[in-house]
Amino acid sequence: MPSAANQHAATMLIRKLESIATLTQAERQAIERLPLRINHLNARNDIMREGDKPTHCCLILEGWACRYKLLSQGKRQIFSFHIPGDIPDLQSLLLPTTDHSLATVTKATVAFILHESLRALAADFPSIGALLWRDTLIDAAIFREWMIGIGRRSAFERIGHLFCEMYLKLQAVGLAADFRCPMPITQTDLADALGLTSVHVNRVLKEMRGRTLITLRSGTLVIERWNELLQAAEFNPTYLRLEKQAA
């Protein structure tokens, strides 16, 4: 008899997978039987560090996480932000040694799933395996989009782009609506994700506010003019492969 918390975690995963393809009854049941270990974590806690050899994957149930790598002289590059429903370290199933770190951004609840359990699930239900693989491919597509930003877009476009991306990802799992979403990251986090300094991020945010494109206060982002921001950032959401789109 699974606990309420476990049931909730399974539902989360099912919802995420069903946003792409419909699952059979048997597949849903198999996911619900997945053994989970649920954990509550503080903000800014490493879940996994570069060099680790994890034995389970981590499903985010509440809060945000990010993947990053530290460099010499305190430099940091953040690769991705993760929200409930994400499994940020799915790759550890096939690449035993991790080449980067995973940490919570906010207080968070996560469920750990043994590699063996996930592997068995994918073996028993190849279409679930394909969905998991697909998810890592979308992950890579987002990396590519971030590369474009860091490499070829202005600071303004980069920040606007990230806001649009996170809003749509949150909306897709029901955590955002009406152009309003949580954005519980510091300007330093933003800078380290986008290849900027926090000082410069601050100045660009000031400009965005000045043009009344956004409001960003106490961890909440409001996109005041979606279409204009989209255009200013040259944002095109197809790479996210989401079913539902914003208005």
Partner DNA sequence: CGGCATGTTGAATCTAATCAATCCACGTGG
Partner DNA sequence: CCACGTGGATTGATTAGATTCAACATGCCG
For residue 45, what are the CA distances in angstroms to 29, 58, 106, 170?
Answer: 32, 14, 9, 22
Cross-strand partners of 220: 182, 217
Q: From residue 153 to residue 192, what is the string marking binding to DNA with x (rule CB under 7 A)? A: -xxx-----------------------------xxx--x-
Measured distance CA(84)–CA(108) in Å, rounded: 9
DSSP secondary structure letter of residue 24:
P
200 binds, among DNA, a copy of itself, none (CB under 5 to 8 A by kind): DNA
The residue within the footprint of a copy of itself, chosen from 2, 182, 184, 195 (CB under 8 A), is 195
155 binds, among a copy of itself, DNA, none (CB under 5 to 8 A by kind): DNA
Q: From residue 71 to residue 90, what is the string marking binding to a copy of itself with x (rule CB under 8 A)? A: xx--xxx-x-----------
Q: How many residues bind a copy of itself (CB under 8 A)?
A: 40
In the numeric block, the tokens 């305190």 are attached to 74
Nearer to a copy of itself among residue 180 and residue 239 (C-beta): 239
222 binds, among a copy of itself, DNA, none (CB under 5 to 8 A by kind): none
For residue 136, what are the CA distances in angstroms to 123, 143, 236?
Answer: 17, 11, 20
Q: Which of residues 113-142 bind a copy of itself (CB under 8 A)?
A: 123, 126, 129-130, 133-134, 136-141
120 binds, among DNA, a copy of itself, none (CB under 5 to 8 A by kind): none
136 binds, among a copy of itself, DNA, none (CB under 5 to 8 A by kind): a copy of itself
Kindly state whether residue 197 participates in binding DNA, applying the rule CB under 7 A: yes
Measured distance CA(51)–CA(34) in Å, rounded: 27
**Phi/psi-derived region of residue 212, left when phi > 0, alpha when psi is between -120 and 50, beta in every other case:** left
Question: Contact 80/66 with Cβ under 8 angstroms?
Answer: yes
